[in-house]
Structure 1
C-alpha cells in the first residue's frame, strides 16, 4: 500500500490518504505499507505533524526491528522538510547497520559444545 499523509493536497492516484499521524502509524503497525509520502504541517499541531511519523518509524526500527517503507517528504515547509529528511537518513542508517550486523552474524563460525 502507498500511504499519503496530508491535509490539503489532492491524493495521488494509487495512494491511500490519511490526515493524521495516528492514522499513518496505525497502518504502519498493521504492515503492508510499501511507500509513505509525508507532509509536515497538517493543520492542527496538537494532533501531530509528519515528523511524528518519522520519529515513530525511527524508534520502531531501532527497538523493534521494524522494516520501514520507502519514505518521501513532500512538505512545503523548508525547515521542517529538512528535519524530516534528516530523520529519513537516520532511519536508513539504522537499517544499513542492522543489515551489516545480520550479515556478520550469519558468517561467524559456529562453535559446538
Structure 2
C-alpha cells in the first residue's frame, strides 16, 4: 500500500499531492483505511445547521493518539493559535508517553500556503 498525504480542512483549497477530508468523520475513514505519509490539520472544521461546532482538528488529534495511529509527518496549518497549541502539545505529550510513535515528525506550522478560492 502506498502512503498518501492527507489534508484536513473544511474551507481551504487542497494542495496538489494531497487527499482532502472536509470533516472529522471523513478524515477518520481515510486514516483507518490508508497509510499516511503527511497529515496536515486545520483546527476549526465548521458548524452544523444550528451553529454548534462540529468535531474539530483537536478531536482528530485525540482520536489519532488514543488509537496509536501512524503518520510520518504531521503539520498544523490552522490559523487558530489556541487550537494549534492544543493540538501540538497533545501530540508531543502522546509521543513522550508512548501513545504514538516517537519517530513521527511534528511541526507547529503549515507545509503549504493556505489558499481559499471559494466564498
The unaligned stretches of length 5 or more in structure 1 are 97-113
- Aligned positions of 1:1-113 closer than 5 A: 1-44=4-47, 46-61=53-68, 66-93=69-96, 94=98, 95-96=101-102
The unaligned stretches of length 5 or more in structure 2 are 103-119
Describe the superposition over 1:15-71 as per-residue Cα deviations: whole angstroms up to 9, x where unpaired: 11111011111111113121110001111254310111100011011xxxx334421
Which structure exhibits the higher relative contact order, with contacts defined as CA atoms closer than 8 Å and separated by 6 or more residues?
A: 2
Aligned residues: 93
The alignment's C-alpha RMSD in Å is 1.8
Q: Which has the higher helix share?
A: 1
TM-score (norm 2): 0.70
Instruction: Name the larger-Rg structure.
Output: 1
Distance 1:20 1:69 in 2: 21
Q: Which has the higher strand share?
A: 2
* Secondary structure of 1:29's aligned partner: helix
Residues 25, 69 of structure 1: alpha-carbon distance in 2 compared, 3 angstrom cutoff: farther
